[in-house]
A = this chain, B = another copy of it.
Amino acid sequence: MSLESILNAESVAIVGASKDPTKRGLQTIRSLVDEKYEGRIYPVNPKEKKILGFTCYKKVSDIEGPVDIVLVATPARSVPDVLEDCGKKSVKGAVILAVGFGEMNAEGKALEREVLAIANKNNIRLIGPNTSGMMNMHSGLNLVGLRDTPKGSIGLLSQSGNMALTLITEARLKSLKGFSYYIGVGNEADIKFHEYLKFLKNDPKTNVILMYVEGMREGRKFLQQAYQTSIKKPIVLLKSGHSEIGQRSAGSHTGALAGMSEVARSAFKRAGIIVIEKSDQLFPAAETLASLPPLKKNQIAILADGGGHATIGADILTELSIDVPELSEKTQRKLAAILPQAASISNPVDIAGGADADPTVFADCAEILLKDKNIYGLLIVGLFGGYGIRFSESLGLMEEDAAHRMGKLVKKIKKPIIVHSLYGSEKSHPLHLLRYYNIPVYDSLDVAAKCMGVLGEYENYHSSYQAKTNFVLNQGVKKIPEATEIISKAKAENRSALLEHEAKQLLALHGAPVTKDRLAKTAGNAVEFAKKIENGVVLKIVSPDILHKSDARGVRVNLRTEKDIRKAYSEIIKNAKEYNPNADIRGVLVSPMANAGTEVIIGTKIDDQFGPVIMFGIGGIMVEVLKDVAFRVLPISYNSAKKMIREIRSYPILKGFRGNPSCDERALRRLLLTCSDIIDSYEEIREMDLNPVIVYEKGISVVDARIILS
């Protein structure tokens, strides 16, 4: 069932309708009337005859006409009966407001499952439970009972009613933008984030999607949908709950898996989502994306009427990787012609009192700056909008003139202007005019600069868009029969992990360069195998019951003589038996000593929210002490393999540090892709751990590998 018929419902029943003005059952009906909802409204309450002039029904199934959506405003325990009754009416969707479901306790979880089963059986799609409701601002289908929500083109998905209220209040007080839809996603019992996202992607009235997320149930499907959506419409998202206490709070709040892990952050960004970290930048980011033409290149000018704001603005933009390049000589000449001598005509431009008698100078400068071919956007910082307030009313009229000109300039030249004004929160008509022309105005310099960064980030994503990274697993496509056999054998033996040599065989079958090992069953075997190896050998215990070989003192390195090998062999066997007397010992693996190179670590696991992910880092201190690792949701492309290698802080080590040779980055990239293929091919693999992998100037070698089965 498409969400269309629910979110654009043409008839609505309110179960729990009421005459009490403090109750949602009345507030909702009132707001439907206020918003001039054109569909049919059916209050449902066995005790009332009429509410606000609408005939009241005892139950949903008593209603004569069709009912698209039902708002259930009664307590949790009543919901199963209400839905059973809705089933009789072919209701398409229900919004369940009540708390006391999955977010509460085990009992609530059971109730949530029951409710979902009834909904499925009756083909009713559910919004919530534990939601503040939903609003379709264009049809007036306001099921939240919230007044004064401004209409506009921002689609809002939120897992917190209060955050939605914050964003709506901000829109109302500080902007001229508004919303197309608000959907309180709640516990995601039935309809998930990705389904709402798909709806908003196709909705002609929505041009930006704004999300507040605490945790999500189907992260991978969300990424797939986000990836398809973000290239058409920007998605701005804040995910909270990255601290332990935040998670505790989110857990009790939405019952969802929480945690803004590095995995989530990188996955969201890869799907083209603008991830916002500060809640006070969330609405402004959406407003800016809903308002302005793109910032085609990360090069902007700053126009200030005083030094302090220019300096701070430049600092922030630098952190956001937005360049503030030198202006062309021609531009500087043009500025010099209209600005006083004390002005700074390099970028940042400081008009230094040059607008004190005539603020239309702002529009003159804006025009000169945006015509510079190296300048793709403009950040105006300082007092604009306040000359009339602060100095004299006549200056205010000049500011209005400037605002009209700048508004038309943006439309014509298609380069963005963002304005910071310290009068941003005062009633300033010139600033109001700027907003009318879709030029955002903020009284926080940090927010204004961040919004320019957001435009740059979205455009960067667009221009480097890779159609291949679609977050879709094609499990099994590259499966190899011999590898499947290895896994099947382990499973048949009831083992939860492959033995080291099995893991390496599997890797080798997919083309990974692994050390050439052989399994010795006797000391004699080991000596014989070692003869064919030049550099000395390593012996390692092989037992399904010993995963951590070093802990069992089951590893000996750098063995060169027959005597040493025999001695090491028997000691390893002895140690293993001591470590675990019941261990099933399969023998000892004989491997060549690896040449020195740069140790890296590659790991994969199944993330609770996103499914298979891969991790990469440089072995030892970098991973263990500095936690310097890169994550990607699998599968990865050649390009994302490249990016993940380069995004770790310690990447210069791979590039050849202190005159060391550089590492074979291509071989490393190929190995990451091989790991991606393997995980994509065998869904039986839960975890893979290649540690260490040694990267050489030419080539790469997997020295140890562990594969855990699910």
Residues from 327 to 359 in A contacting B, C-beta threshold 8 Å: 342, 344, 346-348, 350, 352, 356-357
- Which of B311, B621, B626 is A253 in contact with, Cβ under 8 Å? B311
**A165-B422, A252-B350 given; 11 more Cβ-contact pairs under 8 Å:** A21-B392, A104-B342, A160-B306, A160-B308, A163-B309, A243-B314, A249-B344, A252-B307, A278-B446, A279-B312, A624-B658
Query: Chain B: which residue is nearest A627 at the CB level?
Result: B649
- From the candidates B212, B260, B391, B649, name the one contacting A308 in the complex (CB within 8 A): B212
Which one of B21, B244, B350, B357 lies within 8 Å of A22 (CB-CB)?
A: B357
B658 & A308 in contact (Cβ 8 Å cutoff): no
Given contacts A306-B161, A309-B160, A350-B253, contact A649 B620 (CB under 8 A): no
How many angstroms between the C-alpha atoms of A476 and B379 in the bound complex?
52
* Contact between chains at B249 and A158 (CB < 8 Å): no
Q: Is A453 an interface residue (CB 8 A)?
A: no
Within 8 A of B (CB), among A52-96: none
Q: Is the CB of B162 within 8 A of A245?
A: no
- The quantity of this chain's copies bound in the complex is 2
Residues on B with beta carbons closer than 8 Å to the beta carbon of A383: 162, 165
Contacts of A423 in B (CB 8 A): 169
Given contacts A249-B348, A352-B99, contact A311 B214 (CB under 8 A): yes
Chain B residues with Cβ under 8 A from A315's Cβ? 240-243, 245-246, 260
User: In the complex, which residues of chain B have a beta carbon less than 8 angstroms from the beta carbon of A252?
Assistant: 307, 344, 346, 350
Chain B residues in 8 Å Cβ range of A174: 425
Mask of A284-306 contacts with B, CB within 8 angstroms, 1/0: 00000000000000000010111
Contact at B249–A314, with CB atoms within 8 Å?
yes
Q: Which residue of B lies closest to A22 (CB)?
A: B357
Chain B residue contacts of A413, Cβ below 8 A: none
- Residue A485 interfacial (CB < 8 Å): no
A524 contacts the other chain (CB 8 A):
no
How far apart are A702's CB and chain B's nearest CB, in angstroms? 21
CB distance from A393 to the nearest CB of B (A): 12
A159 touches B649 (CB 8 A): no
Let me know if B249 and A162 touch, CB within 8 A: no
CB–CB B162/A309 < 8 A: yes
The smallest C-beta distance from A108 to any residue of chain B, in angstroms, reads: 10
Are A158 and B314 in contact, with the CB atoms below 8 A? no
How many angstroms from the CA of A657 to the CA of B309 in the assembled complex?
46
On whether the beta carbons of A240 and B318 are closer than 8 Å, the reply is no
Q: Kindly state the interface size class of chain A when it binds its partner.
A: 35 or more
Q: Are B254 and A446 in contact (CB under 8 A)?
A: no
Task: Kindly state whether residue A100 has any CB partner on chain B within 8 Å.
Answer: yes
Taken residue by residue from 437 to 480, chain A's Cβ proximity to chain B (1 for < 8 Å, 0 otherwise) reads as 00000001111000000000000000000000000000000000
Q: How far is the CB of A624 from chain B (nearest CB, A)?
A: 7
Asked if A658 and B280 make an inter-chain contact with CB atoms under 8 angstroms apart, the answer reads: no
A248 on the interface (CB 8 Å rule)? yes
Of B249, B422, B625, which is within 8 A of A350 by CB? B249
Residues of chain B within 8 A (CB-CB) of A278 are 446
Contact B169 A422 (CB under 8 A): yes
CB <8 Å contact, B212 and A250: no
User: How far is B346's CA from A483's CA once the two chains are assembled, in angstroms?
Assistant: 51
Residues of B with C-beta under 8 A to A626: 626, 649-650
Contacts of A165 in B (CB 8 A): 306, 383, 422
A603-625 contact mask (Cβ, 8 Å, vs B): 1 or 0: 00000000000000000110011
- For residue A324, CB closer than 8 A to chain B, the reply is yes
Is residue A583 within 8 Å, beta carbon to beta carbon, of the partner chain? no
Q: Which residues of B contact A344 (CB under 8 A)?
A: 249, 252-253
**What are 8 A-B contacts with C-beta separation under 8 Å?**
A159-B308, A160-B308, A162-B382, A163-B309, A163-B312, A246-B314, A620-B658, A621-B653
Alpha-carbon distance between A143 and B195 when the two chains are bound, in angstroms: 62
A661 on the B face (CB < 8 A) = no
B99 near A342 with CB under 8 A, answer yes
Query: Contact between A445 and B279 (Cβ–Cβ < 8 Å)?
Result: yes
A310 within 8 A of B: yes
Q: Which residues of B contact A625 (CB under 8 A)?
A: 649-650, 652-653, 657
